[in-house]
Each structure stands twice: as structure tokens, then as C-alpha cells.
């Protein structure tokens, strides 16, 4: 007779230590990504016990080395429970800290998943001396699985570090769906939103120059540039360009304030020169906002020009001006692109599906 018994349930996952710089609140886009993943584990019976280990603290300062030592001590205290380490890594100081974490994991016999987030890790590695690159290569090769944001980083990890293709997982970032549907009423001013660190890499000088172009002067808009960075510098640029009265610089905002801005925004703009996969673009898609960005990093694998957003070349002030003017002047186009972006989000970038895929990847890493 055929068996009618149900398949045995999968064994429970061990505790997971999520190792990252800055934790959830001060870890920038990586911290937000981890927070969205943890949201997706709520009410799941197969989700592991977890803890976030902050290896840096809110910023790099005199206390940062002591915070790192505290994280290593917490790792050693947790070791008898045989946790799985989910280690988030970027370039520069993050790589130095994670090499030490990787050696600690090896000495303690703990399995490790390495998660690469960086706007240009290839350039970082190109600048390393041979001995330092060997340490990075050893770290990646020791990981049970390596998670990357796009196919460019997958090629880097496979070709430069020698990680077998079957141990590399391409997992684009994901964000939480809005708590309630976003509806946009016609308003006298089109709301433009930038989210991220105010810097040259993020294209902020070009954005302010584009907003100051005469082609936008007669159009109805207001822009909010939200994030940390050199706010004084960019406020001064806005004053010199004559658009300070139409720009707001609220500084770094928490998730609640960011979500409120996204709900009110008509256009999400991010003219970056380098990105891994910008969380702000995914958040713009999730809220049905018309996205204008550059095809850099894994964003080139996400946004299709004039289908799910508008693409401009990095550093192209004239092209950015033209895209902004077109989006401001054409509400039907904004709505079409926003709807297509929201559909793309639900297909590929919703946090609950991401959280489920991560649990499956943990099980693969432990097999």
C-alpha cells in the first residue's frame, strides 16, 4: 500500500547571529535591509532565534574599536549554542572587521554565510596589495554561501575569489510593502524625494544643479533631500543656485519618517555614480512612486527605462534635468511608471518572499 504519512518536518534552524556595522538603526541601507528581513520572519514558526551583533556602532569614532571587541566577545559567548553567522560585508573598514570575524568563526568552528553589499567592491579589491587580497579571498572561500546583490558581483566572487558558482546566491535586496495602499491626490506641487547620504557619489551636486536649471523654474515642484552627509555644503549650493526656498534638508530620518515621505512623494530620484542595489529605489517602487535613477550596479538589472522608471547617465545634468521636467509636467506618465514599478516590486522585491528565501538558503548552507 502507498504510504500516507506526511514528510518529516525540517529540523529547526540553529540561532542566527547577524553580524553587521551600525546595527539596524545606524547601518544605512544594510541595516534597513536586515530590518525588513526580520519583519518577514514575524509569526513564522520556522524562523530561527536571532541576534544582531553591531561591529562598529553608530559611527567610526574612538569608541568603535571597543564596540568591535564587544561584538567578538558576544560571538565567543554564543559559540556553545553553535549559531550560524550571517555576516554582512562592504569595502574598507567593514572588510577589515569581517576578516577578523571570519577567522574567529573558523577557530570556533561556526558556519558562516557572507553577504556582500558594496557600491563598487571590484574597485576596492583592485586597490588592495596582494597580501590583503589573499585575506579577502580566503574569507569568501571559507563561507558556506556567498550572497550578492547582482550578477556583476557574482562574477567578481567567482572569478576573483574562486568561490564555486553553486555556493553563490544572487539575491537582490527587498523592502516591506506599504502598510496601506498609497493613493496620490492631485496637488499644486509635485513632491520630489531623494533618500540617501548626501554626497558626490550619490549625485547630489548634479541633482541640485538640475533642479536649478531654468527648464524647471516655471514648473510646480518641491524637493526633499533626506539623509546624512555634508548638509552644510549642499544647503550652500542650493542658496548659490537660487533654489534654497524649494528644497528641504531634514537630515537622516528613521523608518517611520522615511515611509511618510515616500507616501507623499510623486518622484523618487537617485542620480548615483555607484551603487550596489539602492534601498531607496526599491522603496520608491514599493510605494508606487515614479523612479528616476542611474543604471549603476544591480540597478541596471532592476529598472527598465520608460517601463518601470526613468534612467539617466551618471553625471549627466542635462539628462537629469530633462527627465525631471518630463516627469513633473506629465502626471499620466508618472502614474504609469509608478504603477509598473509597484507591480515589479510585488513580483521581485517584497520582503516576505525574501525572508522565506533566506531561510531556505540557511538550510542549504547547513547541509
Q: Mean pLDDT throughout 76-82?
A: 96
Name residue, grid cell 572561500: 141
What is the per-residue pLDDT for 24?
84
Quick one: 56 and 73 in the same domain? yes
Q: State whether 156 and 194 are in the same domain.
A: no
For the segment 295-323, the average pLDDT, to the nearest whole number, is 95
**How crowded is residue 164: how many other Cβ atoms within 10 Å of its Cβ?**
10
Does 72 share its domain with 130?
yes
Position 256 pLDDT exceeds 90: no
Shared domain for 223 and 205, answered yes or no, is yes
**Exposed, middle or buried, 6 (CB in 10 Å: 0-12/13-18/19+)?**
exposed
Higher pLDDT, 60 or 129: 129
Residue 9 falls inside a structural domain: no
What domain range includes position 211?
A: 190-348
Residue 10 has pLDDT above 80, yes or no: no
- pLDDT computed for residue 147 by the predictor: 98
Residues 83 and 93 in one domain: yes
Helix (H, G, I), strand (E, B) or coil at 329: helix
DSSP 266-292: SEEEE--SS-S--HHHHHHHHTTPEEE
Residue 3 has pLDDT above 60, yes or no: no
User: Within this chain, do residues 149 and 267 fall inside the same structural domain, yes or no?
Assistant: no
| Number of other CB atoms surrounding residue 239 within 10 Å | 12
Q: Give 11's pLDDT tier (boundaries 50, 70, 90).
A: confident
Does one domain contain both 154 and 30? yes
210 and 234 assigned to the same domain: yes
- Is 185 within the bounds of a domain? no
Q: Is residue 7 part of a domain?
A: no
At residue 59 the predicted structure's pLDDT band, cuts being 50, 70 and 90, is: confident
pLDDT at 4 over 80: no
Tally of domains within the chain: 2
Q: Rounded to an integer, what distance in angstroms lies between the CA atom of residue 265 and that of residue 208?
A: 17
* Residues 95-126: tens digit of each pLDDT: 999 999 999 999 999 999 999 999 999 999 99
Position 182 in a domain: no
- pLDDT value of residue 187: 77
What pLDDT, on the 0 to 100 scale, is given for residue 2?
Answer: 58
Which pLDDT does position 96 carry in this prediction?
Answer: 96
On average, the pLDDT of the chain sits at 93
For the segment 184-231, what is each residue's pLDDT rounded down to a tens digit? Answer: 777 789 999 999 999 999 999 999 999 999 999 999 999 999 999 999
pTM, two decimal places: 0.88
**Are 355 and 340 in the same domain?**
no
What does each C-alpha distance from 84 to 89, 90, 108, 317 come to in angstroms? 16, 20, 11, 46
Cβ count near 236 (within 10 Å) = 12
pLDDT of residue 133: 97
| 170 plus 36 within the same structural domain | yes
Give residue-wise pLDDT tens across range 136-167: 999 999 999 999 999 999 999 999 999 999 99
Specify the CATH number for the domain of residue 357. 3.40.50.2000
For residues 274 and 301, membership in a common domain is answered with: yes
Q: State whether 358 and 342 are in the same domain.
A: no
Is 50 a residue whose pLDDT tops 90?
yes
Amino acid at each position: 500500500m502507498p504510504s500516507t504519512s506526511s514528510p518529516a518536518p525540517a529540523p529547526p534552524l540553529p540561532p542566527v547571529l547577524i553580524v553587521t556595522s551600525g546595527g539596524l538603526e545606524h547601518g544605512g541601507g544594510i541595516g534597513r535591509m536586515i530590518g525588513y528581513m526580520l519583519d518577514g520572519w514575524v509569526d513564522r514558526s520556522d524562523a530561527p532565534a536571532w541576534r544582531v551583533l553591531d561591529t562598529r556602532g553608530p559611527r567610526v569614532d574612538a569608541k568603535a574599536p571597543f564596540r568591535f571587541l564587544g561584538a567578538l566577545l558576544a560571538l565567543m559567548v554564543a559559540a556553545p549554542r553553535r549559531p550560524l553567522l550571517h555576516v554582512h560585508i562592504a569595502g574598507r573598514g567593514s572588510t577589515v572587521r569581517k576578516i577578523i570575524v571570519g577567522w574567529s568563526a573558523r577557530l570556533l568552528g561556526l558556519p558562516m554565510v557572507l553577504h556582500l553589499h558594496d557600491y563598487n567592491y571590484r574597485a576596492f579589491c583592485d586597490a588592495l596589495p596582494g597580501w590583503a587580497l589573499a585575506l579577502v579571498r580566503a574569507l569568501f572561500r571559507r563561507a558556506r554561501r556567498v550572497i550578492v546583490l547582482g550578477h556583476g558581483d557574482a562574477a567578481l566572487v567567482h572569478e576573483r575569489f574562486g568561490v564555486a558558482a553553486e555556493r553563490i546566491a544572487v539575491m537582490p535586496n527587498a523592502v516591506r510593502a506599504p502598510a496601506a495602499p498609497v493613493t496620490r491626490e492631485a496637488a499644486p506641487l509635485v513632491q520630489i524625494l531623494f533618500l540617501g547620504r548626501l554626497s558626490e557619489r550619490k549625485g547630489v551636486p548634479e541633482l541640485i544643479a538640475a533642479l536649478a536649471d531654468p527648464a524647471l523654474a516655471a514648473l510646480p515642484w518641491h524637493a526633499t533631500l533626506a539623509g546624512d552627509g555634508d548638509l552644510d555644503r549642499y544647503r550652500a549650493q542650493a542658496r548659490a543656485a537660487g533654489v534654497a526656498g524649494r528644497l528641504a534638508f531634514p537630515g537622516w530620518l528613521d523608518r517611520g519618517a522615511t515611509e511618510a515621505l515616500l507616501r507623499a512623494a510623486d518622484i523618487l530620484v537617485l542620480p548615483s555614480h555607484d551603487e550596489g542595489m539602492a534601498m531607496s529605489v526599491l522603496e520608491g517602487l514599493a510605494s508606487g512612486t515614479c523612479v528616476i535613477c542611474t543604471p549603476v550596479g544591480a540597478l541596471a538589472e532592476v529598472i527598465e527605462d520608460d517601463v518601470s522608471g526613468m534612467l539617466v547617465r551618471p553625471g549627466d545634468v542635462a539628462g537629469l534635468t530633462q527627465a525631471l521636467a518630463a516627469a513633473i509636467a506629465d502626471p499620466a506618465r508618472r502614474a504609469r511608471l509608478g504603477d509598473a514599478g509597484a507591480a515589479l516590486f510585488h513580483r521581485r522585491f517584497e520582503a516576505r518572499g525574501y525572508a522565506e528565501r533566506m531561510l531556505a538558503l540557511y538550510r542549504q548552507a547547513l547541509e
